Structures are given as structure tokens and as C-alpha cells.
Structure 1
Amino acid sequence: MIRIGNASGFYGDRASAWQEMLDGGELDVLTGDYLAELTMLILGRDLMKDPSTGYAKTFLRQLEGILETALAKGTRIVTNAGGLNPEGLATAIGKLGNVKVAHVTGDRVEDPTALTANAYLGAFGIAECLGAGADIVVTGRVTDASLVVGPAIAHYSWTRDDLDALAGATVAGHILECGAQATGGNFAFFTELPDGGRRPGFPLAEVRPDGSAVITKHPGTGGAVTVETVTAQLLYEIGTPQYLGPDVVAHFDTIRLSQEGPDRVLVAGVTGSPPPPTLKVGANRLGGFRNTMTFVLCGLQIEEKAALVRAQLEDAIGADGLEFVLARTDHPDAAEEQAASALLAVHLKSPDQRRAGRTFSQAAVELALASYPGLTLTAPPGDATPFGVFSHHLVPQEAVDHVAVLPDGTRRRIPPPPRTAETLSRQTPAGSRGPSTTRAPFGTRFGARSGDKGGDANLGVWARDADGWEWLRGFGADELRELLPETRDLTVERYELPNLRAVNFVIRGILGQGVAASTRFDPQGKALGEWLRSRMVDLP
């Protein structure tokens, strides 16, 4: 068995988690995930200003405090905090002391039109570095799960033919990659957790030789590890049940979960098949400049007040790039002024920084004494900020030069998988629905978790019991569109995961050109699941 922990789920996660995980119990490897699509854009802008940056600088500060402890305990560290400059981070780490540092490179893809373009590499480069004795392995863009799969490959000497084991470790990696989301963080039923969700601990996986794993956490830490908390994380930011990776396709419809004891969930039975012949490349491009001004509209004639602001701003600066979003947060006959008020968010995106900046915000401010009665703004005028546009495409696996740079500087090329296969996915149509007897919020019987995938979002729903699952199997894409009208004109795909008593919906295009460019109220789609859970339906 190899014990692999997680201490970071994103760039900005709990700063003390690395120390907490090292102090909390024995670990063979401690991992940290820092890279989201938005993070790559942030690091790209850093790199433009200073070529020596491009990595997650917070990790270096965290490492300074825990390096001595990690080396003394023999806990090895694997992180993708290298971002766009893994060599630069590896060099900076080497200056901290007597430590064997290796890094993985080759994910950068040449694209003169993009600020960043990076292929999602697999886990065998990480394994090569660990096999050469590295204390710390730094990567750039690898799949999030590879941070867990790589150590397991190195520990058990798996080959590319060990597809089921690789798939099992991939599932364990997916569970760990977002940190405390596996232990009760952002959990639909957080009020049922022992500590009410106040400070969930970070997860770890006890990965076995066959790729199965027990998900758990250190004793005495908050939150919980249950079949439901693990199910919630399994449904996060996924697409079809065929979970594509550079080393293996993990079939999520074969996962079996069982509660093995308090805060111990066994993940077993995962089937793997050969990976696709291509790698996903995520690209960020500068899209222009953006700004937002928000008007408070109080009392009567809310729609007319919003229409007046629209007409006045379009007259002042032109309609091009303007977007008006009216949130009807007002209540009739309200006893408090705030409850009587709606919010009109006015967004502007433009290639012209000056127009998107003070020209726009000043035009809004100038309406203060010359527009609707009771005009109030929520913030003073501000400058425009640049925004990025995310896209992705595929490249052949052999077109990417995946290289492990060992602690002694030796460079070892990681060959692409010798056996690949195209994967076909079929949506699951809704069946007949079980009986409905009670009118209640959707979330009284079902949990949900949602997230972003570029311009798309996923919304995973699971049933808490067999009766709920019978009903959920009859809940289709059309019913989802009725409950979430914002999705009405969008493509919605539906996939069943009977082993998890779950359905995953993929909502195409709801986030536009990605989180950095989205002007949506919830630009990452994180609350779509909770919106669905709040809607009234006829339940079993």
C-alpha cells in the first residue's frame, strides 16, 4: 500500500494544509494541485511581466516552512505548481537546501495566437522522476489525477498494460485533486457533517497494488469521508462516463464504493481501457478588456428604470460590447430598503482599454443626478481589466515531447502509449419515472455538484436511496431545462452512472468563452447544482 495525500486543490487553497497533512499522520507522498484553466491565464500574464516567474509562488513560500519536516519524515512531494515554468520553480526549490528536485516538461505547445497553450501530460514522467530518487517532483500542465497516478506507478512498477490499475489510481486522483471537496467541503448535505462543515480536513488515498484505494483523512480532522462525500467529488467536472486521460480511459460506470469504517471509503472495481491517440491542449488568448458597473434600482417601476439606464449608456458610449443583466432581488411592499431593491449589472467588453475603462465607468457615474429616482451605484468607477478566452483542441500524443528531468539533470523522454483506441460515448435517455407523491424542493432527496469545463458546465446529481434513484432515472434533459430556464436553448447531454445512483448532465456553452471571459453571475457554474436543488418538484 502507498499512502498519498493532498494539500492543495487550487491556487489559493488553505495555506496551512501542507503542515497539517505532514503533522497529521504518516504519508509516503503529499501532492498539491494548483492549476485550473483560469490559473494558467494568470500565470501567463505573470510570465509576460517577468520571464523568471510563471509558477505558483505561494507553493514556494509554503515549502519553505515544511521542507525540513517532509525530508525528515521521508514524505515525497509531487505538485503541478510549476505551471508555465516548472524548470524555474525546480531551480528555486533547489536553493532552499539539500534536496533532490526533478521536474517534468514538454507540455507547452507552440501557438503564436495564444498567451498559453499546454497539453495535458500523463503520469509516467512523474513516475520516472520518483524512480530516480527525487524528493520533490515539479510539473507543468499534467492531468490533475496524474499527481496521484505517478507515485502509484513508481511504487508498484506498473506498466502501460496495467490498465485497470491505472484506471483505479486515476479515480483516486480525481477524488483527491480538489482537496477538501472529498471530505465534506462544498457538500450538499453539509449540515449533517459532524462539525457542520466548519473546517474539513484534507483527503488521502491508500492505493493498493490493483489500483483500488481507500479514501480517508487524518484522525481528528474535520469533515467526513463517506460514500456520499466521495460520490459528490466523483461527479465534479466530469463529462461522459468514459473519463479520458493520456494514460488510460477510466470507466466511471464501473466504480464501486463501500463504507469500510468511519471516514474510510473503498473505491474498487474500476475498469480501464487504452487511452485515446490524442492529448487535450488548453489554450488561453487575450480577449480584450472588461469592466462592470452595478446600479441599485429600488421600489417601483424596476423594468422602466433599467430601460432608462440602458438607453442613457448606449447613447453615451455606444451599444457595442454592452451587456445588461437585471437581477430581480426586490420584494413587493418590503419592510427594508435592501429587500425592495433590484440590481442592474452593466458589463462592457471591448478591445479598446480606454473605452472599457474610465470612459465607461465615468459615463455611469455621470448619471447620478440625471437618471431614475433613487440611483445608487455599488462601487466607485474603476479601470478596465484584461480578460482571457479559453479554448481547447487535440494533438497527436506523439507530437508532444514529454520529458522527465531527473535530479542529476539527465533528461529522459517519455514515449507515448504504444496502444491507443478511440472511445465512443452514448448518452443515456431518461426512462420511466417512479411515482411522485410529495411537492418539495429537489434537494430534499438529491445531492448535486457542478463545475466548469471551459465554456461548458457539468451538473452531477445523485440519489440518496433506491426510491430516489428509481425516480431520478426518469429525470431527463427536458425536465432539467424546465427547472433551469437559463439552459433552455442550450445543448444538454445526459449520462447515467447507476453504480453511483447518479446522473451527470453536461450543459454546453452556458459559460460562454470560459470563466475568465464570462459575465455570468456564477461564472464557473459552481452553484448550478444548488439552484437545481432549490426548485420545487413532485418527488417520491
Structure 2
Amino acid sequence: MPPSTARRPLRTAGCSGSCMDRRDALARLAKLPDLDMIHGDWLSEYNMSARAGDQLDHSDAFEASLLEALEPALANLAKNSIRFVCNAGASSTRQLADLVDKTARAQGLDLSVAWISGDEVWDKLAEDIKKDPRGFTSLTTETGIQDWGHAPVYAQAYLGGFGIAAALERGADIIICGRVADASPLIGAAAWWHGWTHDSLDELAGAFIGGHLTECSNYVTGGNYSGFKQLQGRWAYLGYPLADIHADGSSVIMLEPDQAGLVDVGTCSAQLLYEIQGPLYYNSDVVADLRTVQFEQVGENQVRVFGARGLRPPPTTKVGITARGGFQAEFRYFLCGLDILEKAAMLEAQVRASLPDLDAFSLLKFTVTGTPGVSPESQDEATVEFRIFGQAREADTLKPANFARPIIDQIMQGYPGSTCGADTRMAVPKPFYEYFVTLMPQDRIEHRAHLLKSSETIDIPPPTITEPFVRQQESYDPRDPQPLSTYGETTRGPLGWIVHARSGDKGSDSNVGFFVRHDDEFPWLKDLLTIDKVKELLGRDASRAKRIDRFELPHLKAVHFLLKDHLDRGVASTSSYDCLGKNVAEYLRCKHVDLPQKFLERGKI
């Protein structure tokens, strides 16, 4: 059990939001004497599929960057009795746990290491698919796995937090997980600390929201924030988030002491809106109703989070299925000055005529990126990129003789100023993976916690009282909208002069949430941003989304949209520059609309 002071909040810190986060945060946070726990997220859909490929190729299939971050932190974790939970195990969780245990013992530290199993589910899922392939439908494309067109080779389910809670209950100091859901480390730790059960729905939902806010590290302290100019002069090194999780599930989100950054209602609103799919936010332990969540600024860089309402979890959990997609390669030319689209059309025609077997490509895409300004001030400002992107089932289709060489050979007969990139490393074929996101029953998962020191294994039962997963969540346009003329005189300008936004990816879906700073701006925002208006702002990109869903979060002064299947198959295989969907928000913020003058007078974002 946690210490007798467990009635006080659990104080935790988020040290990593991805495998590409800074490595030094964990060691610095471990020096804080008042922390109870540090949690870190190392996984995304991209490296889940990549590590699955590593495992299939008999390579190390964990995120090795964890060891770089953890090794210098171990002594202070032990000294300050700070527990650490992360999901960096990916597809080799036991192997990484053994390495962490060996590293700690080499430093003379008596730390109990545990690991969580049950997320690797391909054997069981393969049986279930064979019995009923029509029982597995993509959460993003809404097609069945039998129509996917790829042969699955691996599957990983998203686990909840009660395995983590069980390991902490038995004295684990460090817990290495594979694919637990991003917020599950904090949910599990808070459930252990406060003695919650599966029936503590509101409390679990509150911890779920606290975990969602802090699992992306700097995203709640000023990173990826449309209000980043507030931090000008302090951009170089943003601090990491701390959270106090109270017994009722409410929390206070804070900034790491003595570090640059910002924690306010705006940064918390942005992170809450990140990667959600609707008003119901799903975890295999609880469902959080986002419509009841509220934020309150209670001090400098301190935001109270409260009001979360918890619903019964579904009998299913999300599972990501990996298949070998084939190979891909790309090459770049640069176009300058006038007639950009005509120059691009000329080069595309020449390349298509020169490639030896167009039918061998599963995807061949030509993209012009950027537009020269009017009478630009430098040649760089007048230059745009022309990207040639190819995917094929066989590597031979993309080998240099069949791909890079024919593309390079156009340079002498090319457009005016024909110039190609000198670096051809991206033009060599490399493997990529396809990713299919669906659901599987929680009772098919053998969720277990394992203690290395005692060799103890604890079975974690699934929740017994559940509510079915809702595939099509509530979607609606403004109710009783007012004419936009109601809001007074307007000035034409970018939406982002008044409106914040945050977007992200889930499979091939992109979400985007918009929010404003002042209460009287929200009625205008919700009346302006209808589904049809967002389609208009998307322009040619509107054709990508199969469907657009919309709902409102009045407590946050926010309107949220889900763009179904907008991202070309998702990060593991996408041909898009915006592979994570993060720039959908910034694209829409730059689009011009009629802005109420009275709001502009308060100052632009």
C-alpha cells in the first residue's frame, strides 16, 4: 500500500511524450524530492509498427532511448523514493525490463523492477479473425479487415492501468510496459495511491484527464501551442509538467520548478483537444465525458482540472494490427519563380514517361509544396519543393536504376532552372508498414504484472460491468445559431488572429479543436465553425475526409471536428508531409474569415 499520507495528492511528472523527446528531463525530475512518481510515454502508432517489424526481424524491439534517459536518473529515483512507469517496452517488454534491472544492479541500487504483459495479442487475434473476419472493422476507414488488402503479421492491444496498480501494490519501483494506453501509467498509479477500484468511475476519469494532459510532456507547457508567441525569449528550453492527483480525481497541473514554459487554461485546453475523437474519451478502464471537464487558473503556472464524469468502460479495447506494406522512396526537385504549376506539370510528365513500370507502383504521388510570394525579397523565398513519392510491394520497383536514375535523368530536358536535390539517400527503397486499428474483447487479453525480484506474476481481470463502445459519437452543427452580423463590424483576416487550435492523428483520422480566450467570443466561434464552413476552409483538402463530425465543449469555449480518414492511411505508411496531422490546425488558422472588430481590439494571438 502507499504511505500513510496517501490522503494527500499523488504528485507525478511527465518526462517524455515520445521516443523523440529530450533525454535529460527524467534525470532532472528525479532530483525533485517531493515527487511520488514519474511517467513517460515512448510509443506512437509509427514506432509501434516499426518495433513490430524489428521483432519479426529478430532485432531488439524496445525503445533504446529509454536507457539513455533512465540510467543517469536511477540513483536519484532510489534516493528520493520516486516510482517510474513507462511504455518503452514496445514489442520486447521483458527484454527491456531485464536490461533496466541489470543497469540498476550495476549501480548498486536495490530497485524492484516489474513489467506488464498481455498487449501482444496476434496469436489470439489471428484465431478470431479466422473464425469471423467480418467482426473486425477499422475505427478509421470503417472497412473490414478482410478488405484491407494486406496480410497481418502482428497485433498489439492497448491495456489499462490496473496492472500497473498491482505492481505498485507489491512494491515495484520501476514498471516497464509495452502498449498501455498513453494515460494508463497515471491512471494505474493514482488508483494504487488512492485505493480506487473499477467502480471509482469519476475518480478514474479525472486521473484519465490528468494523464492525457501530462503524457505529451511539453505539449501542456507551451510546446505545439498556437499561443507560443507569449513565450518569446523563453523558447529554447521548455520545462515539463507536474500534476497533483487528488482523491476525488481532480488535479492541479503545474510547471516544473525553475524552468521556462507556460501552464494556463489555454495550454491545458489545447492539450485536452489533442487527438480526441469525440465527447466520449475511451480507455479500457473508464470512459471520460469531456463535456463536463473544467479548468481554473489557480496560480502562476497552475491549473485546476475538475468536473470529469466517468462512464463504464467498453468490453473491448483498441488494438493496432501491423502488416508489411512494401517499400517506399522519394526524390526532390526545386522550382523557382514564375509558372510553378506549369513547371511541375512538365517534370511530372517527363518522369511518368521515363519510369520503367508505372503499374508496379502501389502509390506514385507528385506534390508541389509552397508558393512564391509576390515580388519575393530573396531567391529562397521564390523557391518551392517538388516531391516525387513512390511506394511499391517489391523493392526492385524502387531500386536506383528504376526510380532515382530515371528521375535524375530529366534534368537536361527539364523546366527552366531545373534543379534536383543533391542528397539521394531518401531515394533508396526502405520498408514501411501498414497499420489497421480495430477493437477486440478485453476478456481475450491475458493482462499480467510480473515482478522480477520475487518472480511473482499477478493476473489482472478485465472490467466486469461494461457499456458498448460507441463508434459514431454525437455530431451536430450549431443549435439556434445567430446571424454572424450579430457580432458587429468585421475585418477580413486569418482565423488564427482570434482563435487557438490543436490537431493530431489517430490512425488515418485527424482531429482539430478550436477554442477562444474570452467567454463572449465562444458564441461567435460556434456559429462560425459549422461543418460546411470547415469544409470551405479546408479547400481542396476537404475531399480527403470521408466524413466530418462536430461537437462543442462550452466549458472550454471550444468546438471540435473529427476528419474521418483524412491522413492517407496514417503515420506508418502515409505519403503526407503532415504525417501526424499536427498542421491541420495551423493550416485552418491561416485561412481568412470575417473577424469581429471588437475581438481584434483585444489583441491578436
> TM-score interval w.r.t. the shorter chain?
over 0.9
Distance 1:438 1:371, change over 3 A: closer
Shift of 1:115: 4.1
Structure 1 match to 2:91: 84
Alpha-carbon distance between aligned partners in 2 of 1:221 and 1:70, rounded to the nearest angstrom: 20
Structure 2 match to 1:483: 537
> Pairwise mapping of residues 330-409 of structure 1 onto structure 2 (< 5 A)?
330-358=372-400, 359-381=402-424, 382-407=427-452, 408-409=454-455
Alpha-carbon distance between aligned partners in 1 of 2:419 and 2:383, rounded to the nearest angstrom: 10
Shift of 1:534: 1.2
> Pairwise mapping of residues 179-198 of structure 1 onto structure 2 (< 5 A)?
179-193=217-231, 195-198=233-236
Per-residue deviation, residues 244-269 of structure 1 (Å, max 9, x unmatched): 11010001111011011111111111
> Pairwise mapping of residues 119-134 of structure 1 onto structure 2 (< 5 A)?
119-134=157-172
Distance 1:60 1:339, change over 3 A: closer
Q: TM-score of the superposition, structure 2-length normalised?
A: 0.86
Q: In structure 1, give the amino acid aligned to 2:65.
A: T
After TM superposition, the structure 1 stretch with the greater mean CA deviation from structure 2, 417-426 or 529-538, is: 417-426
Instruction: Structure 2: state its 5+ residue gaps.
Output: 1-8, 127-150, 597-605
Question: Is this contact kept in 1: 2:316–2:469, CA < 8 A?
Answer: no
Question: Is this contact kept in 2: 1:446–1:468, CA < 8 A?
Answer: no
Q: In structure 2, give the amino acid aligned to 1:326.
A: V
Structure 2 match to 1:17: 25
Structure 1 match to 2:499: 446
Alpha-carbon distance between aligned partners in 1 of 2:91 and 2:377, rounded to the nearest angstrom: 53
Structure 2 match to 1:148: 186
> Pairwise mapping of residues 193-204 of structure 1 onto structure 2 (< 5 A)?
193=231, 195-204=233-242
Shift of 1:24: 4.2
Structure 2 match to 1:211: 249
Shift of 1:301: 3.3
Alpha-carbon distance between aligned partners in 1 of 2:35 and 2:595, rounded to the nearest angstrom: 44
Per-residue deviation, residues 124-143 of structure 1 (Å, max 9, x unmatched): 00000000000101111011
Q: In structure 2, give the amino acid aligned to 1:430.
A: P
Is 1:419 aligned with 2:427?
Answer: no
Per-residue deviation, residues 208-256 of structure 1 (Å, max 9, x unmatched): 1111111112221111111111111001000111001101000111101
Q: In structure 2, give the amino acid aligned to 1:119.
A: A
Structure 1 match to 2:102: 95
Is 1:228 aligned with 2:282?
Answer: no
Per-residue deviation, residues 408-455 of structure 1 (Å, max 9, x unmatched): 121111111010002542113124145252322111111111111110
Question: Is this contact kept in 2: 1:195–1:223, CA < 8 A?
Answer: no
Question: Is this contact kept in 2: 1:195–1:222, CA < 8 A?
Answer: no
Question: Is this contact kept in 2: 1:253–1:499, CA < 8 A?
Answer: yes
Query: SS in structure 2 opposite 1:7?
Result: strand
Distance 1:328 1:256, change over 3 A: closer
* Alignment counterpart, residue 117 of structure 1, candidates 137, 155, 160: 155
Structure 1 match to 2:477: 429
Shift of 1:149: 0.6
Distance 1:325 1:49, change over 3 A: same
Alpha-carbon distance between aligned partners in 2 of 1:46 and 1:287, rounded to the nearest angstrom: 14
Q: TM-score of the superposition, structure 1-length normalised?
A: 0.96
Q: In structure 2, give the amino acid aligned to 1:445.
A: I
Query: SS in structure 2 opposite 1:443?
Result: helix
Shift of 1:193: 2.9
Query: SS in structure 2 opposite 1:464?
Result: coil
Shift of 1:333: 4.3
Structure 1 match to 2:599: none
Shift of 1:332: 4.9
Structure 1 match to 2:575: 519
Question: RMSD of aligned C-alpha atoms?
Answer: 1.6
Q: In structure 1, give the amino acid aligned to 2:429.
A: A
Question: Is this contact kept in 2: 1:225–1:265, CA < 8 A?
Answer: yes
Structure 2 match to 1:473: 526
Question: Is this contact kept in 2: 1:24–1:219, CA < 8 A?
Answer: no
Is 1:501 aligned with 2:557?
Answer: yes
Question: Is this contact kept in 2: 1:194–1:224, CA < 8 A?
Answer: no
Alpha-carbon distance between aligned partners in 2 of 1:300 and 1:261, rounded to the nearest angstrom: 54
Q: In structure 2, give the amino acid aligned to 1:528.
A: V
Aligned residues: 539
Instruction: Structure 1: state its 5+ residue gaps.
Output: none
After TM superposition, the structure 1 stretch with the greater mean CA deviation from structure 2, 73-82 or 515-524, is: 515-524
Query: SS in structure 1 opposite 2:152?
Result: coil
Question: Is this contact kept in 1: 2:28–2:73, CA < 8 A?
Answer: no
Is 1:319 aligned with 2:319?
Answer: no
Alpha-carbon distance between aligned partners in 1 of 2:315 and 2:291, rounded to the nearest angstrom: 22
Shift of 1:194: 7.1
Distance 1:304 1:535, change over 3 A: closer
Question: Is this contact kept in 2: 1:331–1:341, CA < 8 A?
Answer: no
* Alignment counterpart, residue 27 of structure 1, candidates 20, 25, 35: 35
